[in-house]
A and B are shown apart, each in its own frame.
Chain A
Amino acid sequence: MNWNKEGDLMRILALVSLVLTGLLPVCRAESRTLRVVTTSEDLASIVRAVGGDAVSVASLSSGEQDLHLVEPRPSMVMKLKNADVLVKVGMDIDMWVDALISSARNERIFYGAPGYVDASVGVGLLQTPEGKIDGSMGDIHLYGNPHYWLDPVHGKVMARHIAGVLSTLSPERAALFDDRRKRFDAEIDRKLEEWRERLAPLKGTPLVTYHNSWVYFAARFGFEIVGNIEPKPGIPPTPAHLARLVDVMVARGARVILVDPFFPLQGPRAVSERTGARILVVPSSVGGRPGIKTYFDLFDHIVGQLAGA
């Protein structure tokens, strides 16, 4: 074979593509279940609750990861390539998935397609910045605080949104999805009462968190967040900031520091040693600790940790 002839290379590439394209009908056997890919385990849990056996669900991240900093990988491209539905948290916390969608070239999940679901739509947001924002404010999110799934009431909004999309894509199972969604809502309402009851004695308790990720949870259950270990979102703590935080905690009587499992403990420990505050390493996502397999398990765990603090 004479490789120096430029046309040969192109002809070989075309031939290989043609032969492999012939495999297309074999490899794309239609599945009866809707293939759903989510960017977080929390969303995957809600999709399972709503879709049941009618869906197969895969999450691109695990609950042990910081959702801001998940690294896109080619194997994720393949999950998206075969997906009927993509459910993302949105609000820029999982921006890494946007490049993956482009690479997967699956028009079913392109922005605006029926299978593209931004779960934040319809959610009541907190800390939405207005006016000009820039890097001086840290890693602030343009559309508001993105940790909205930590309010269980928002779980109902997300479930309704997901059920609507699943019903659109599989109308013959719309009644099933609607029924399961109603049961999910009812379970949220029931558990919400239980969680409120357990946390009622702590209402108004001042908390410090590592990252600004617990505002929705605090708003729902009546905690007051008086400071963060990070001086600004995404900015590592400095000694001066921690010294100021210690003063604030002493003045406000904050006795608990909530830390997501993936954050370093040096800063919280330094503050804890000077204030006597207890460090609670609490997962903020399903799968963040062994045994936390569902959205309900997550809140059971968080509530249990706080109630026992």
Chain B
Amino acid sequence: MKHMFSFIVCFCLLVPPVVVAETNIMESATPLPGMRGTPLNLPDISVVGVLDGHVSDDKTDSAKDRLELSDVETAFQGYIYPEMRADVFLAIHRHDGEYEAEICEAKASFLHLADGLGGEAGKIHVNFGKLNRIHEHHRPMIDQPLVLTNFFGDHGLVGQGGTLNYLMPLPFFLQFEGGAWRVAGHHPHVSEDVETTQVTDVNGNVVDVAIYEEEPCTEFSLADEVYTGRAKTSFAPTAKSELEIGGSIAQGRGGHYEEHLDKAQVVGADMTFRFWPTAYRRWTFQNEWMHLRREVPVGILHRQGGYSFLQCRLNKYWDVGARFDYADNAFPDKVIERSGSAIVGYHLTETSDLRIQAKRRRVGDDDISEGWVRMTFGIGPHSHELE
């Protein structure tokens, strides 16, 4: 009995109940995000999980008719020096039926190098256009617009390197940014059905060796040394609206340079108009257009694509939207893809929401219908910088 009493006392001391204190004096400024760890100097730690369901009438789609945890992203965020912070996002995501761990982003941000000048270094979602920089779970749509997939790959343009950005000392918002990156190329495209044959080795022994048959590549992206630039300006036509206009450029080699000996340049333009008629209602009209110039030994390919996205946040919790996509592929045999999507979202908290998207896609002469449902849940003070 005595032990039981001691246990209860210890338990109560270790797990204090949540109580609401009468009055406290706020003695210091509210800590910023990145300063929320305990006095043990821990960073802000958070987790975001993404549960995805996907249906499709595309018989070749290996990810269809599934409901699965598609992504778990952990974040460690904090200040490492005055005016310098670090953000590390580690992700485990499902890719081709397997879970893979990767560093989604890991960067040091220099908030003030000189008046108006900032910078970042590390592995970073490159600031190109409006959506490339934004993590998937933060986007107002479930799938990635076709043009981003066709020109930058499934995960967008992510590089290791650094960027400098300069906010011009002008009466209106005008920011320039330039970055230099090393972007990982694609894995070799080899068939998983391995055949073997017998050969004689240098010692005269007969051994079995695997024959790998290379598959034609279906994905294009920039790789190796990539240089990027972005200019962005913004105006507030009225107190309740904002117009943002940006231009971006990226150039480097193709993701399969050894195979194609290609160099590529992507130029993009974006325009976003937001309007807040009431406290919670918001209209967003966002457009991005990109042009790919791909130089291969036999000539120069010109490809283009873009999307137009209209969204209305109806109130504090609900939003509805529609997106139209148009994109060429990045290969010599030109294929045009078009799609239209309808999207509905319900926000539980800043980091937790439910989203449904229906999409009708035309690839060449084929029509494909797809649908997604996604639940994103966040625990802890997960935050991303502004775009």
Q: How far in angstroms is the closest Cβ of chain A from B34?
A: 9
The answer to whether A133 and B280 have CB atoms under 8 Å apart is no
Q: How far in angstroms is the closest Cβ of chain B from A26?
A: 9
| A98 CA / B22 CA spacing, docked (Å) | 28
| A24 CA / B82 CA spacing, docked (Å) | 25
A273: chain B residues at CB < 8 Å are: none
| A234 contacts the other chain (CB 8 A) | yes
| Chain B residue nearest in CB terms to A95 | B33
> What per-residue 1/0 map shows which CB atoms of A130-155 lie under 8 Å from chain B?
11111101010011100000000000
The answer to whether A102 and B111 have CB atoms under 8 Å apart is yes
The answer to whether B118 and A71 have CB atoms under 8 Å apart is no
Q: Report if A27-B315 is in contact (Cβ < 8 Å); known contacts: A65-B279, A103-B385, A120-B26.
A: no
The residue that B173 contacts in the complex, of A77, A137, A262, A264, with Cβ under 8 A, is A77
| B32 contacts the other chain (CB 8 A) | yes
B83: chain A residues at CB < 8 Å are: 107, 110
The residue that A64 contacts in the complex, of B170, B176, B251, B279, with Cβ under 8 A, is B279
In this complex, the member of B24, B33, B170 whose beta carbon has the largest number of chain A beta carbons within 10 angstroms is: B24
The answer to whether B32 and A98 have CB atoms under 8 Å apart is yes
B242: chain A residues at CB < 8 Å are: 73-75
| B60 contacts the other chain (CB 8 A) | no
The residue that B279 contacts in the complex, of A4, A66, A91, A125, with Cβ under 8 A, is A66
Q: Report if A17-B24 is in contact (Cβ < 8 Å); known contacts: A10-B227, A27-B171, A104-B167.
A: no
Give the number of residues in B that approach A within 8 Å (Cβ atoms).
71
The residue that A116 contacts in the complex, of B29, B170, B315, with Cβ under 8 A, is B29
| A90 contacts the other chain (CB 8 A) | yes
The residue that B28 contacts in the complex, of A6, A121, A124, A128, with Cβ under 8 A, is A121
| Chain A residue nearest in CB terms to B83 | A110
| A261 CA / B178 CA spacing, docked (Å) | 44
| Chain B residue nearest in CB terms to A261 | B279
A10: chain B residues at CB < 8 Å are: 178, 180, 227
| A236 contacts the other chain (CB 8 A) | yes
| A155 CA / B226 CA spacing, docked (Å) | 54
| A72 contacts the other chain (CB 8 A) | yes
| A154 CA / B23 CA spacing, docked (Å) | 13
The answer to whether A234 and B349 have CB atoms under 8 Å apart is yes
A14: chain B residues at CB < 8 Å are: 178
A134: chain B residues at CB < 8 Å are: 379
The answer to whether A24 and B115 have CB atoms under 8 Å apart is yes
| A190 contacts the other chain (CB 8 A) | no
The residue that A125 contacts in the complex, of B25, B167, B274, with Cβ under 8 A, is B25
Which parts of A39-98 form the interface with B (CB within 8 Å)? 62, 64-66, 69, 71-75, 77-78, 81, 90-92, 95, 98
The residue that A130 contacts in the complex, of B16, B169, B232, with Cβ under 8 A, is B16
B251: chain A residues at CB < 8 Å are: 3-4, 6, 9
B9: chain A residues at CB < 8 Å are: none
| Chain A residue nearest in CB terms to B34 | A98
The answer to whether B239 and A62 have CB atoms under 8 Å apart is yes
B178: chain A residues at CB < 8 Å are: 9-10, 13-14
| A123 contacts the other chain (CB 8 A) | yes
The answer to whether A23 and B173 have CB atoms under 8 Å apart is no
The answer to whether A9 and B167 have CB atoms under 8 Å apart is no
The residue that B167 contacts in the complex, of A72, A81, A127, A129, with Cβ under 8 A, is A81
| B112 contacts the other chain (CB 8 A) | yes
A66: chain B residues at CB < 8 Å are: 279-280, 316
The residue that A91 contacts in the complex, of B23, B30, B276, with Cβ under 8 A, is B30
The answer to whether B278 and A130 have CB atoms under 8 Å apart is no
The answer to whether B32 and A6 have CB atoms under 8 Å apart is no
| B21 contacts the other chain (CB 8 A) | yes
| A118 contacts the other chain (CB 8 A) | yes
In this complex, the member of B117, B171, B178, B278 whose beta carbon has the largest number of chain A beta carbons within 10 angstroms is: B178
Q: How far in angstroms is the closest Cβ of chain B from A1?
A: 12
Q: How far in angstroms is the closest Cβ of chain A from B140?
A: 13
A116: chain B residues at CB < 8 Å are: 29
| A13 CA / B29 CA spacing, docked (Å) | 39
Q: How far in angstroms is the closest Cβ of chain B from A284?
A: 12
| A117 CA / B300 CA spacing, docked (Å) | 57
B32: chain A residues at CB < 8 Å are: 98, 111
The answer to whether A110 and B280 have CB atoms under 8 Å apart is no
Q: Report if A128-B227 is in contact (Cβ < 8 Å); known contacts: A3-B265, A81-B116.
A: no
| A163 contacts the other chain (CB 8 A) | no
| A308 CA / B62 CA spacing, docked (Å) | 67
| A32 contacts the other chain (CB 8 A) | no
- Please give 10 more A-B residue pairs, beta carbons under 8 A apart, in addition to A77-B167, A95-B33, A236-B316: A3-B265, A9-B249, A20-B176, A21-B166, A21-B169, A23-B168, A66-B316, A129-B19, A137-B18, A143-B26
A-B residue pairs in contact (CB < 8 Å), sample of 26: A4-B263, A6-B251, A10-B180, A13-B176, A23-B168, A90-B26, A90-B30, A91-B26, A103-B386, A107-B112, A110-B82, A110-B112, A121-B26, A122-B25, A122-B26, A124-B23, A124-B24, A125-B24, A125-B26, A127-B20, A129-B20, A129-B21, A130-B19, A135-B352, A236-B317, A261-B279
The chain A residues found within 8 Å of chain B, CB to CB, are 3-4, 6, 9-10, 13-14, 16-17, 20-21, 23-24, 27-28, 62, 64-66, 69, 71-75, 77-78, 81, 90-92, 95, 98-100, 102-107, 110-112, 116, 118, 120-135, 137, 139, 142-144, 234, 236, 261-262, 264
